[in-house]
Amino acid sequence: MKHVTDALCVFRIHLARLRAEAGPFVLAALVFPTAMYLFAVAVSGAQEISDEKRLRFLAGSIVFSLSMTSVSWLGYLLLENRFTGRLKLFATLPVAPSSYIFGVLLFALAQAALGTITLLVVARVLNVRAHISFIALGLVVLVTMLCLCGLSVIIAARARSFSEGSLLTDSLGAGLVFLAPVYYSPQAMPRALSAISQWLPTTFAARAVQTTLSGSSQIGAELLALALMTVLTLSLGFRLMRWREE
């Protein structure tokens, strides 16, 4: 029970910080993804854009929101915890490393849920016709968030300075979406880059999210790929995390 209580305390601490510093979260989770959706629609080159393309752009924006909050925003918080000495305070409470990580993951899940639900409401206002399979969408969001959070933990553990880590999380948060065939088709990319981009977690996530938005639950292959990536990134993040630095 102590591990559960400690994880909830870590969650509440970060949630309180989110309420106090809501601006960056709103930009990363809502404003930028919505702007990317509107931009993609504007440059699609069609007077009457098809529902399929709208769902593709909406799926891309949901994945963009997850990437920005799980990698850029959460990565920034983890880096701040480490380089300002806050992580040492958690270690001396004492809080187990697993409780700290699970508390952070719970906080990330709350962010992902809030961002995704808000984007779906915005899409409804913009007359995007979606027949959502909510259970399947929830599974995709959960696994995608866990996978991307693993990347945040790895960066926060290995960065040699706060500025280096911030640059890496910002670049990766946006780059994982822009380098994946999310807002455009794979045929629009150079062949070599297209082959590599097919294995990015955001590629699997966007494909699965678009499928669930169309009302289907046929996402087994994408979920399996994301689950394997999640195990890899979180396991490596746990292993590399410097709980008590020299």
pLDDT digits (tens, 9 = 90+) for 85-110: 888 877 777 787 878 888 888 999 99
Q: Domain limits at 104?
A: 2-240
> Is 157 part of any domain?
yes
CA–CA distance, 140 with 183 (Å, rounded to integer)? 18
Tell me the CA distances in angstroms from 185 to 46, 56, 145, 157, one per residue in order: 16, 10, 23, 34
> Is 86 part of any domain?
yes
CA–CA distance, 168 with 45 (Å, rounded to integer)? 33
- Structurally, the chain folds into a number of domains equal to 1
Do 79 and 153 meet the contact criterion of CB atoms below 8 Å apart? no
Tell me which residue has tokens 């995390």: 241
> Is 245 part of any domain?
no
**pTM of the shown model:** 0.90
> Is 246 part of any domain?
no
pLDDT digits (tens, 9 = 90+) for 145-157: 999 999 998 998 8
> Is 139 part of any domain?
yes
pLDDT digits (tens, 9 = 90+) for 60-90: 999 999 999 999 888 888 898 888 888 887 7
Does residue 246 surpass a pLDDT of 60?
Answer: no
Tell me the CA distances in angstroms from 189 to 34, 78, 119, 185, one per residue in order: 24, 34, 27, 8
